[in-house]
Structure 1
């Protein structure tokens, strides 16, 4: 038996608002619904993943998901709750971004399941044929300026200024909904709560131009327990593209979520059942130090986005990194690519082959001030037992450097318990 879409979203905390009649429409028949994705980067990020999960649940409930890549609207930029106008992208960059996004969406949705197979469309395919005067004449007249000005997303920007280009964005998105309604029988548009104004412009557009009935549903924007924006790390966005955010860093991001955040995130970002999640929550409460929720969350999402092999590699790397008994052979077993991913955020330096040199000279002079400001400081730290190179404790600062580099070219230096440094030999 297929799950009820709205009920599934409710217990997961994924319903923010919806227009009257939405639930009745979805119970009545298989319905096509869409979500738009702006191609502002060549990859989607985990902020987009929340809306992707809406489409995943939509298809699991037996409905037809439509992913719309905004090849045309991406040239303008959505002003919704943005402080300033976005930089416009050129056509070549947009095409590259669209290709990357489409490939990522195919990881989550079934495009070969018969009646409710997913499809990906690009609004540039219909907007490219429109002349400016033709669009204004045939479509602009259906939505009044008063209606557009009343939207919160526009009101907030009137204080700082909004160009006509961005002001017209909701009209273009409204036309998208109409086009999909007329040509693909799409009756519902979904998105984050910040898209409510744009989405309801589409339902109004369909009512006025086609005398039709369409529906809107939004999910809450995912925030942290402290109210701050979710989905960024110190290095910026957490991307779905493994070249932009490595599988290891992706896995670690979820693993480091707080207990309170994890309770919400595991509902939004995994397909675990209510019973499974409640069992995990109980286990977590009984032994919080085991971080049961975080481990389940990180495992599920990393596997979904990057696959089983990359998940196992990320888990192996994590275990080795935090294992006090790990040896140089353990790190070498990761392979150079994973090794670099693990330490991509730690302070690094490239040096020439050290040659015959003491540990004190190597740490306090040869690699500059990466770790120590002087040889005396390095000598004191070695004497106190606080330095390891490639997981081997250094006890004699005057001894000659006699440790083989990882992958024949890297030294991993650990200062104290938590401070790591990475040196590459060139």
Structure 2
């Protein structure tokens, strides 16, 4: 990484599509010319891994460090106890301290792939936890010293809160405090570390503005806010979510192959945009690849998948995923990197073939429900989804469609190992355990 402070961070954000809004473009640009400056993004610990929806913020921190400045990843050990109400229809479930600590331990695994916490350079990244200052707050003192700077009327006007109230959905007093705590984070980071910039998704605009106002009012320091767009795919789907669930960044929750395959399945219209956001290829190259047509765009998707997977999981994992995909899709093989499941016989409700065939049509061997098998292999969410897949000829066992009139799989085959396919793009290997 380059460690000479430069003012081109804002230009990079604009050019690559990261920028939704900024409180003061010129002021921020000038501040970044004055030396190594810190900026932060907060990540609440609501799960054991972040998902692809958070990757745009992680890339912003990476670019901030690449342009010579100091990124701060702030773990929400304190704010997670409250829960961010921004654009949510209901209150987040409250987590115990042990659950929060466990989630933070899982989340931390990803950041070192993108951000340098070990360098001796002045812009060495910091990883902090806001529980360090939030857990020890005295409530009455906090209300007198900090709460008096917040107008309830103004807080109610922020779209993230207003939309919830307009729908007549409950907003607890606990949640209402979240924006005050996040504002306090910004002020505390400025006071302790000289942090001048908070970044986040556009849904955080109100929270960021509150932090800027509080920092100016209490310690009279100039700070800035910058937001990224809340991304959806070109077909309107929320980024990072699929029919099969969230695309987690931790390898133990979403394998490198599955992660690679998610990017390989990108819609044609999104390739150029995602190359700019999630890779470090030059902008001109991203635009060239994104403009490809017909079958050529598929190779562009492979480039996207390889580049993004290499950043997170490494070049070997990306190469292995590509090799597996080509084996499975182009040659009809199995591939070495497909998700593999060992399933206990007790989970499959094994049935004698003779029972299935009846007295007039006896069938040898033992069988299990194909629908259950597809659910256990995480290729279908529910039995109902699996049955629909079978009815549409989209469920294949060793590349052969499951029969609608006999939706069962021979257990002897499972003892060897079978390849399950849900349509053309999702595959898994399954074998019987024991």
Same structural fold, with TM-score higher than 0.5 when normalized by the shorter chain: yes
For residues 138-157 of structure 1, give each alpha carbon's deviation from its aligned partner in whole angstroms, at most 9, with x where no partner exists: 21112222222221111112
Structure 2: gaps spanning 5 or more residues: 354-360, 372-394, 402-408
Offset from partner CA, 1:339-363 (integer Å, 9 cap, x none) = 517x99xxx9585999xxxxxx999
CA deviations 1:241-276 (Å, max 9, x no partner) are: 112111111111110011111221111111111132
Distance change >3 Å, CA 188–CA 251, structure 1 → 2: same
Residues 145 and 260 of structure 1: CA distance in aligned 2, closer, same or farther (over 3 Å): same
Q: Where does residue 268 of structure 2 map in the other structure? A: 259
Measure, in 2, the Cα distance between the counterparts of 1:362 and 1:45: 49
Q: In the superposition, relative to structure 1, how do residues 42 and 420 fare at CA in structure 2: closer, same or farther (>3 Å)?
A: closer
Aligned position for 2:91: 85
Bigger CA radius of gyration? 1
* d(CA) in 1 for partners of 2:396, 2:163: 55
Map of 2:317 onto structure 1: 310
Match of 2:160 in 1: 153
CA distance in 2: counterparts of 1:423 and 1:292, whole angstroms: 29
Counterpart of 1:232 (choices 234, 241, 256) is 241
Contact 2:71 2:125 in 1 (8 A): yes
Sort the Cα spacing of 1:141 and 1:288 in 2 relative to 1 into closer, same or farther, 3 A. same
**Across the two proteins, how many residue pairs are aligned to each other?**
388
- Whether 1:191 and 2:200 are equivalent positions in the alignment is yes
**Cα offset, 1:229, TM superposition:** 1.2
The answer to whether residue 243 in structure 2 is matched with residue 241 in structure 1 is no
CA contact (8 A) 1:349 1:422 kept: no
Shift of 1:124: 0.3
Is this contact kept in 1: 2:367–2:411, CA < 8 A? no
Aligned residues of 1:39 and 1:94 also touching (Cα < 8 A): yes
Contact (CA 8 Å) 2:340, 2:430: kept in 1 or not?
no
Q: Is the 8 A contact 2:77 2:100 kept in 1?
A: yes
Q: Residue 107 of structure 2 corresponds to which residue in structure 1?
A: 101
Q: How far off is 1:405 after superposition? A: 5.9
Q: Is the 8 A contact 2:37 2:195 kept in 1?
A: yes
Q: Tell me whether 1:218 sits opposite 2:227 in the alignment.
A: yes
CA distance in 2 between partners of 1:273 and 1:263 (Å)? 11
Residue equivalent to 1:144: 151
Query: Which whole-Å CA distance do the structure 2 matches of 1:51 and 1:418 have between them?
Result: 28
Give yes or no for contact 2:339–2:428 (8 Å, CA) kept in 1: no
* 1:334 aligned partner: 336
| Equivalent pair of 1:111/1:118 in contact (CA under 8 Å) | yes
Kept in 2, the 8 Å contact 1:56–1:108? The answer is yes
Alignment gaps of 5+ in structure 1: 355-360, 372-386, 394-400
* CA separation of 1:252 and 1:350: change in aligned 2, threshold 3 A: farther
- How does the TM-score come out when normalised to structure 1? 0.81
- The alignment partner of 1:217 has SS state of strand
* 1:51 shift after superposition: 0.4
Relative to structure 1, the CA distance from residue 99 to residue 353 in structure 2 (aligned partners, 3 Å threshold; closer, same or farther) is farther
Separation in structure 2 between the aligned mates of residue 362 and residue 424 of structure 1, nearest angstrom: 26
Alignment match, 1:54: 60
- For 1:416 and 1:91, the matched residues in 2 are separated by 42
Match of 1:179 in 2: 188
